[in-house]
Amino acid sequence: MLLFCPICSNLLLTEFSSTCLRLSCSTCPYISRIKKKISERTYPKLKEVDHVMGGSEAWKNVDSTDAVCPTCNHPKAYFMQMQIRSADEPMTTFYRCCNPTCNHNWRD
């Protein structure tokens, strides 16, 4: 909630005086004591986020290659390429370990 000075229309500043909180203008002598709490909290509802890579459906029917998993050292990994930067940048290769107990994802 923004409060503005009724005299000069500048933004009022909150300051502590010896007896109370008050709103004061930085350009004119206007001062107003704060008589009630003027803050409130509202929390936005978070949107449901989809998986960036398309979830598990995106990894169906992809090819595999010889790439060593950095987590379990399995010698094979599934891969797919996506353009995640501008068109003049090279495509990014994403890997997923072929070991069903690992399924570690990484990119090159």
Q: Is 20 annotated as a binding residue?
A: no
Instruction: Assess contact for 14 and 32: CB atoms under 8 A.
Output: no
Spatial CA neighbour of 107 closest among 54, 53, 51: 53
Q: Is 98 annotated as a binding residue?
A: no
Query: How far apart are the C-alpha atoms of 56 and 89, rounded to whole Å?
Result: 26
Q: Is 102 annotated as a binding residue?
A: yes
Residues making up the annotated binding site are: 5, 8, 25, 28, 69, 72, 97, 102
Residues making up the annotated binding site for Zn(2+) are: 5, 8, 25, 28, 69, 72, 97, 102
